[in-house]
Structure 1
Amino acid sequence: MPTTMVAKRARAMWWMRLHSAIRTALACTIVGCVTLYSSSSLAKQLAFPSFSYVTSVFIVSDATLGHALRGCWHACLATLQVMPLSMLGLWLHNYVATDEFSPEVAALMVAVSAFLVALPESTELMCKRIAFGQLVIVYVDAVIHGVYVNSPVMHPLRIAFSTLLGAVASILALLLPYPWLAYHEVRKLYQIYAESASGRINLYLKAIRNQDDEITMELISQTKPFTDTGSKLLETIKFLEEGLQWEKPWLRYLNPYYTDPGQGFQNMDIAMKGMEVAITSSPSFPTRMIDKELFKVTHHVMMFLGQKLGQERSFLPHNSVTALETVGEFEESSRLHQEPILPTKQDQPALFFLSCFKMCMSDSDTITTMTEGLRSTTGSSSNKSCCRQACIDCTMPIIHERMVVFAFKCSLSLGLAVLLGLLFNTENGYWSGLTIALSFVTRKEAIFTEANARAQGTAIGSVYGVLGCTIFQKVAQIRFLSLLPWIIFTTFLRHSRMFTQAGGTAAVIGSLLILGRKSYGPPSEFAIYRLTEAFIGLACFIVVELMLQPTSSATLVKKHLYLVQGTLKDCTERMIVDSRQKGLMEKQRDLKYQVKDLDKFIKDAVLEPRFWFSPFPISCYLKLQRSLSKMADVLFFMSCDIEFLCQAFDRYYPDKKELQQYINKDLQQFKDALSSSVSCFEKTISIRLLKTSQIQPEQNIMNDLEEGNSSCPRGEVEMILSSFLQNSNEVRGKVRDIAGIELRGTIVGCLCSLGFCMSFLEREVRDFDSGIKELVKWVDPLGEPIRS
């Protein structure tokens, strides 16, 4: 079963990439036919076919119709930004100077215009890339063909028409012979994900039925293929859903019964991670919590869940009658076993498993469901907070410090690349600026990783273009047909770890600019000029990055690890049951995103050339990343429990302070101990890994590290957890006379889940502590050891 699921996912991914390659080839074929075989009057207006190819490749690669619509919108926005700027620049030059454009003037105008384009934060990255490319072509072509400068309006319009050709070709390629919709792809992938999730949950249920620890852990190990498959599917689905947002208005217009294909899967993955955490923490569940009667009900639940997961989503509305009946039966059985039992520490993993299972089969955004009145109150407040946040976003300034730095880097890199490219070879001065104009990123990236991928891609693309011209030199009119197999190959190349998207895109563009055009002269000579110009552009990019923000992948990993520790500390400081204390859920989301970025930086560091540096300690960082990922998942469950308890106490208990004191007393001690440990991790990273004392300048930092205050004593934490369990039972007794049986059982489940999460979080902090010590020993072997 796991092998079949992995093969099914691989076939789905292979077909999607092949489909994307065919659509990309079709878009480039449309551009090639129009530019090579159109009338002379039309060809004169489409004066820059190279940029038509670039635009179509940018929009169509890995795109569905929704992505293409978004890409065309960005191309239009880029054109609307560039046209007034370039027209104004050309007019000012004609008004002030009588001589022709010089390379220095062109470089200055590119730099100033690029700074203005890159500055607004609200503009998407693709829009900025297309705008940078248009600016380079406008001013470089003004240097090469000065006659066009006499028409400061028509010259930029020719570039706009070339961009429009690429955008129109992209839309046609995704509409013909039939529309390729993100909706159908998302529905198909959710179907595969549903089967994977069903198999994974079945293995978890077999594991809790088994009382043999070895067999239980063997069953857990069998879930790894399902887990990996689900994670990769969710990554692809997340990308496709960006295009789905642009398709929704049309789908709703065509069919009023349109439903989200991912309905009911929002919390599936995180809930299954919680179930695995519960089983691995306590392989043998107490029989009084998971007995035969509950297994019988669980069997019915799994029948419903399998039906829900296995069904194909369609335009018909979802029938939830069976779902409600099954959930009701599940809750009834749970209440029968929760009410007479006073939960102990051994019962916590079982109750946590049940709460995760309940979350897995429900469509709510929290672990436990509340009464309808409380749900409506929550939804109303959520809607109000969303509206309030939207108003805040609209009034926030669009320029931030990091965008100023990004704009300055773009301005300086493009200006320098255009200047040196034109001085080296005027006729081919485009390519030095275009090489980096289409590759800027707003986030921090490793310098040499990106430059290495683009250099390799440009080189192999140019070589293929020269070979294609040599083979088809007697039939030059159809030589662009040799592009079709290359486009298909580079589409798969984009998803390889060696070339990445940057290298794959550079490879296809490198061949397109040779095979897709005419009047270049000898292709081998042009390829050499273009490679030299590309090297000039990449060298300018690297020099500017090293001057302003020198970053290697290993440095990015260290800095990002420090950033993650700061967010983790913020999460621990918000662990309190009080409706006035907000932000735990938001901080947990930030932590989850940062942990994912850390994983990306680690993978980039493995591929980055190390030069004279020591080998990258990948095993140490992967261990830390896995521990942080588990902590982020557990913090999600804790935030859900805390949010539910706050809402329940506020709504149903006038004297809520007494109940909160029972819980917050121990929770405060626990979060203080946890915050102390995380603070010590921050200091260790800043001093021993980042080699700086500016982040934490206090004199006693090194003393704290050498005294071994990186984690609180285990006996102290055990006392806190025991006290929390005892106080939770006190709360259970307090709510007996006020709450109904349903709400009382849910509160008890939340408290047990919270206690389990606290215990698990403390263990992960200890593992993280040992991982930090191992990393410091690897990176700084001559330094003072961190004592435990």
Structure 2
Amino acid sequence: MDQKKELWLVRLSSAIRTALACTIVGCTTLYGPPPVRRLLEYPAFSYVTTILIVSDATLGDSLRGCWNVFYAILQVMTLSILGLWVIGPARFTNGLAALAVAVSASVVALPESSNLMCKRIAFGNLVIVYVGTVVHGAETGIVMHPIHVTSSTALGAMASVLAMLLPYPRLANCEVRKARRSYTERLEHFRDAISASGNITACNFISEAKSLSGAAAKLLQSIKTNQEGMLWERPQVRFFKPHCINSVKKLQDMEISIRGMDIALAYFPLVPVDEELKRVLTQQISLKLEKAKSSAHCNATIARETMRNENLLTISASLQGLPASFLQYCMKLLLDNSPISEDPDCTDGKTQKTDATEWKFVSIWWVVRPTKKNLVFAFKCSLSLGLAVFFGLTYTKENGYWAGLTIAISFVTGRHATFTLANARAQGTAMGSVYGVLCSFIFQRFEYLEFLPLLPWIVFSCFLMHSRMYGQAGGISAVIGALLILGRDHYGPPSQFAIARITEAIIGLICFIIVETLFNPSRAATLAKSQLPQSLRALRDCIVISPGQEKEPASNTPPLREKHRHLKSCLGQLEKFIIEAVSEPNFWFLPFHGVCYRKILESLLRMEALLLIVAQTTKNLSPILESSRITVVNLQERMNKDIQDLKPKVGSKLESLLKSLEKITPSKLEKQEKYVPCDIELGKYGNEEVDSITRSFLRHSELLDDSIAPERNEELLKGQMIFQYNCLAFCMSSLMKEAIRIENEVKELVKWENPS
């Protein structure tokens, strides 16, 4: 209940600040001095700019938004004055206006460095300038007309900053600290689950922790965004920007350790845990929580010494004791802040120094360089806007702005759910317009009070932005639809204007859908089907390379860390395709089996985390084996042999899964041999393989224990080695279990796609 209340208060605060910013714009455009009102001839775009900047923003975000507006104004003034001077306002026709918008939009969209919000605002300004030139004809001023447009945009940016300052500033630094506290709440549930007296209570705490795990990615993204805002709130922090990046990286490493703890805790309600181990783990989690929630650093040395001393008490070389050992090992990685997500050796100090001295030249090249991705994005934006402006002016000249403006403020780079977003924008525009018409009818005798009904609608629309049905696209369209009717005057009959604007918006969305479909003809469901085998191949490549081989890779073989990066990229793409495919309509296609794909993705993400922990474990264990004075006969070779024995077993499963997935493609159905997966529904085959792998590791761990002479007084070092070796055994057995789970889900997926 506290989390729901806090979330509700955060959204309410954002809605109130949005309403405050719109109130500032409304009071300035409706009741400001006459010279100011004459300068602000396009108050509609003032509201649009305000909504784009203020939504879920901090003070740093609004300052960055102001910079984007300033950059967009420079681009628009340069391009529009040049275009009006070359062509002449009197010669502008529907086709010339569309062509001018298309050419100018391609110039704006081409630079890699400019922010997406900057491009959206520039697109909107260009549409207003050139459509307004067609509407006013020869009376259009070559310089004053762009100034009127950009002045309205600047008013929206200034209102956004004022709204972030009143009644007190909403700082990005505070939001980062809140997100970090929320990020560490899972550790509290883990601690409560470990110290719980009953299995039912422990299961409840574990399920609560898993529910928070789903929001971890959003919290990480929020922290990244707010750290960019921190750079604008405190410009001197820009010199220490790498520290902000390292802070995010530490949280990513922390996420891998927490995911490992999550895997281990799945066994805890079924496996009895020693009371002494409970005490140690609870103490260690409390230390990490104290360090994470306070700005002052804990005494990490004492924490590590506690870990070393307690390791000897918690070692258990049995199948039942492996989850507890692995949980404590993940806790050790968490306390030591181990760089799990990326090998520190991959960063060369010389390269860092070179990059630091030549960052200016790199920045200049980053601004001017054209990439294939940018060229496609620029051509897509120019074609969409050109068509929308042309057909919008053809339908009605006076309201021809809205066809182009509807899509100008909604462009995104990369793929997205086109039909879903277009549907949300259309519904939001209709709802906002109807609300504005009804309020105009109710307050027709009190025109000076028409702005008041906007305030509750703005608050409602801000909550609408966080809904699954409408999202940000629908919420922004809903609030803009009402603002354009109630927030401006001299627009004619409200109902007539609302119908004309809805029609123009539909024209723009149709052009948007057609162009997006031409550039991205493949459905997200199809891409998810093709991305899943690629992810399995990337996973197979990570398993095929032995952890001991990344030091001296072959000339044509990428090192292990490159394989991990490729796997992470593949899984990220798969997750995006799954989210898009679930939200998109099916039309006449077979429904997308989103539940099965999500289960496969969860298993793949767990295997990714386990592989990273395996790489970290072997990296920590190898120097101990090489530098210790303990007489260990071929233990390093035995460890590598265990891993090598695992590779064909997991690799053969992945190969069979890849063959099975090819059955989803109808063209390959006839060429494919009949694939009959193992009978894992009974669980015998999988459990026998997993147990054999685990027992092999445990036997070698016992050999290590027997090979150490007790008179050498090296019990502490022996405990550390056995401890890490047992954790390696747990990782390997868990990898096999996840492979079996994926095999079961793939079997269901193949049946879904090919019922015959």
State the TM-score bracket (shorter-chain normalisation): 0.7 to 0.9
Instruction: Name the residue aligned to 1:760.
Output: 734
Superposed CA deviations along residues 147-204 of structure 1, whole A, max 9, x for unmatched, are 36552x3332332222211111111100112101122233234445545531332213
Whether the aligned pair in 2 keeps the contact of 1:200 and 1:227 (CA below 8 Å) is no
Cα shift at 1:586: 6.0
Match of 2:165 among 162, 166, 175: 175
Aligned amino acid, residue 266 of structure 2 = T
Match of 1:63 among 57, 62, 76: 57
Counterparts of 1:422 and 1:732, CA distance in 2: 83
Match of 1:23 among 17, 20, 29: 17
Match of 1:329 among 306, 326, 331: 306
Alpha-carbon distance change, 11 to 282 in structure 1, aligned in 2, over 3 angstroms: closer
Superposed CA deviations along residues 516-553 of structure 1, whole A, max 9, x for unmatched, are 11111111101111000001011111112222312444
Alpha-carbon distance change, 615 to 378 in structure 1, aligned in 2, over 3 angstroms: closer
Counterparts of 1:594 and 1:10, CA distance in 2: 34
Cα shift at 1:112: 1.9
Instruction: Name the residue aligned to 1:226.
Output: 209
Alpha-carbon distance change, 19 to 743 in structure 1, aligned in 2, over 3 angstroms: farther
Aligned amino acid, residue 170 of structure 2 = W
Q: Unaligned regions of 5+ residues in structure 1, if any?
A: 1-6, 368-374, 694-698, 783-788
Instruction: Name the residue aligned to 1:351.
Output: 325
Instruction: Name the residue aligned to 2:547.
Output: 576
Superposition pairs for residues 136-535 of structure 1, below 5 Å? 136-147=127-138, 149=140, 151=142, 153-206=143-196, 216=199, 219-229=202-212, 231-232=214-215, 235-236=218-219, 238-248=221-231, 250=233, 267-281=253-267, 291-301=274-284, 304-305=287-288, 307-308=290-291, 313=294, 318-321=296-299, 323-335=300-312, 343=317, 345-366=319-340, 398-535=369-506
Alpha-carbon distance change, 700 to 154 in structure 1, aligned in 2, over 3 angstroms: same
Counterparts of 2:492 and 2:699, CA distance in 1: 85
Cα shift at 1:627: 1.9
Aligned amino acid, residue 405 of structure 1 = V
The question of 1:541 aligning with 2:531 is answered no
Aligned amino acid, residue 36 of structure 1 = L
Superposed CA deviations along residues 633-679 of structure 1, whole A, max 9, x for unmatched, are 323322322443466678889x9997654433443443354344434
Counterparts of 1:740 and 1:149, CA distance in 2: 89
Instruction: Name the residue aligned to 2:584.
Output: 608
Alpha-carbon distance change, 134 to 627 in structure 1, aligned in 2, over 3 angstroms: same
| TM-score in terms of structure 1 length | 0.82
Counterparts of 1:575 and 1:701, CA distance in 2: 34
Greater displacement, 476-485 / 605-614: 605-614
Whether the aligned pair in 1 keeps the contact of 2:418 and 2:516 (CA below 8 Å) is yes
Whether the aligned pair in 2 keeps the contact of 1:736 and 1:744 (CA below 8 Å) is no
Counterparts of 2:405 and 2:633, CA distance in 1: 64
Counterparts of 1:775 and 1:351, CA distance in 2: 35
Taking only the aligned residue pairs, the percentage that are identical comes to 41
Match of 2:675 among 706, 715, 736: 706
Instruction: Name the residue aligned to 1:74.
Output: 68
Cα shift at 1:507: 0.7
Counterparts of 1:651 and 1:388, CA distance in 2: 35
Instruction: Name the residue aligned to 1:689.
Output: 664
SS of residue matched to 1:615? coil
Whether the aligned pair in 1 keeps the contact of 2:189 and 2:205 (CA below 8 Å) is no
Match of 2:654 among 678, 695, 699: 678
Cα shift at 1:509: 1.0
The question of 1:641 aligning with 2:632 is answered no
Counterparts of 2:716 and 2:60, CA distance in 1: 45
Counterparts of 1:460 and 1:758, CA distance in 2: 55
Whether the aligned pair in 2 keeps the contact of 1:294 and 1:334 (CA below 8 Å) is no
Counterparts of 2:559 and 2:68, CA distance in 1: 34
| TM-score in terms of structure 2 length | 0.86
Counterparts of 1:218 and 1:12, CA distance in 2: 25
Structure 1 vs Structure 2 CA RMSD:
4.1
Alpha-carbon distance change, 121 to 364 in structure 1, aligned in 2, over 3 angstroms: same
Alpha-carbon distance change, 252 to 218 in structure 1, aligned in 2, over 3 angstroms: same
Instruction: Name the residue aligned to 2:106.
Output: 115
Cα shift at 1:400: 3.3
Aligned amino acid, residue 675 of structure 2 = E
Cα shift at 1:457: 0.7
Alpha-carbon distance change, 561 to 439 in structure 1, aligned in 2, over 3 angstroms: farther
Aligned amino acid, residue 208 of structure 2 = P
Superposed CA deviations along residues 66-107 of structure 1, whole A, max 9, x for unmatched, are 22122222222333333322233223323xxx9520111111
Superposed CA deviations along residues 380-424 of structure 1, whole A, max 9, x for unmatched, are 957666667887986779443333322222221111111111111
Whether the aligned pair in 1 keeps the contact of 2:431 and 2:478 (CA below 8 Å) is yes
Aligned amino acid, residue 243 of structure 1 = N
Alpha-carbon distance change, 411 to 643 in structure 1, aligned in 2, over 3 angstroms: farther
Superposed CA deviations along residues 330-386 of structure 1, whole A, max 9, x for unmatched, are 321214665xx7x4555433321110122344444349xxxxxxx9x9589576666
SS of residue matched to 1:706? coil
Cα shift at 1:440: 1.5
Q: Unaligned regions of 5+ residues in structure 2, if any?
A: none
Cα shift at 1:465: 1.3
Aligned amino acid, residue 246 of structure 1 = G
Counterparts of 1:282 and 1:319, CA distance in 2: 31
Whether the aligned pair in 1 keeps the contact of 2:547 and 2:615 (CA below 8 Å) is no
Cα shift at 1:599: 4.8
Instruction: Name the residue aligned to 2:80.
Output: 86
SS of residue matched to 1:474? coil
SS of residue matched to 1:577? helix
Alpha-carbon distance change, 137 to 587 in structure 1, aligned in 2, over 3 angstroms: farther
SS of residue matched to 1:501? helix
Counterparts of 2:679 and 2:670, CA distance in 1: 14
Superposed CA deviations along residues 443-476 of structure 1, whole A, max 9, x for unmatched, are 2112211111111111101111111222222222
Counterparts of 1:179 and 1:537, CA distance in 2: 37
Count residues with an aligned counterpart. 737
Aligned amino acid, residue 643 of structure 2 = L
Greater displacement, 65-74 / 615-624: 615-624
Aligned amino acid, residue 416 of structure 2 = E
Cα shift at 1:611: 3.2
Whether the aligned pair in 2 keeps the contact of 1:447 and 1:551 (CA below 8 Å) is no
Aligned amino acid, residue 750 of structure 2 = V
Whether the aligned pair in 2 keeps the contact of 1:676 and 1:710 (CA below 8 Å) is no
Whether the aligned pair in 2 keeps the contact of 1:82 and 1:131 (CA below 8 Å) is yes
The question of 1:47 aligning with 2:41 is answered yes
Whether the aligned pair in 2 keeps the contact of 1:605 and 1:616 (CA below 8 Å) is yes
Counterparts of 2:307 and 2:651, CA distance in 1: 38
Whether the aligned pair in 1 keeps the contact of 2:424 and 2:469 (CA below 8 Å) is yes
Aligned amino acid, residue 172 of structure 1 = L
The question of 1:127 aligning with 2:97 is answered no
Alpha-carbon distance change, 76 to 742 in structure 1, aligned in 2, over 3 angstroms: farther
Cα shift at 1:573: 4.0
SS of residue matched to 2:675? helix
Greater displacement, 529-538 / 556-565: 556-565
